[in-house]
Amino acid sequence: MGLLDKVKGLLKGREEQVKSGIDTVSDKVEEKVPQHADKIDAASDKAKDAVDDLTGKDDALAAPADVPPAATTPPPATPPGPPTTPA
C-alpha cells in the first residue's frame, strides 16, 4: 500500500470535514495577510479540488459558471406563412 492509497483511505467518508478544515485555515490566514486573499482563495480551491480528485468525486453535476442554464421552455413556433415563389 503506497502513500497515496493511505491518503485516499484517510479521506474516504471525511471529504466534507477536510474541505471545512481547508476553509477554516484559509479564513485564518486571510485574517493575518488580507493583501493576499485572492491567492489564498485560489490555493484553497485547488486544495478542495485535490480532495475531490483523490476521493474520485467531482462536480460533474454542477454547471460551469460561464455557461448559462438551458432554457426550460421551447421558443414559440412561428405560424406557417404563404409559400414563397422564386423571383
Comparison of pLDDT for 9 and 20, the residue scoring more? 20
56-82 core/surface letters (b: 16 or more CB in 10 A; e: else): eeeeeeeeeeeeeeeeeeeeeeeeeee
Domain range for 36: 3-55
Q: Is residue 67 part of a domain?
A: no
- Over range 19-42, report the average pLDDT: 95
Q: Is residue 35 part of a domain?
A: yes
Q: Is residue 24 part of a domain?
A: yes
Q: Is residue 19 part of a domain?
A: yes
pTM over 0.85: no
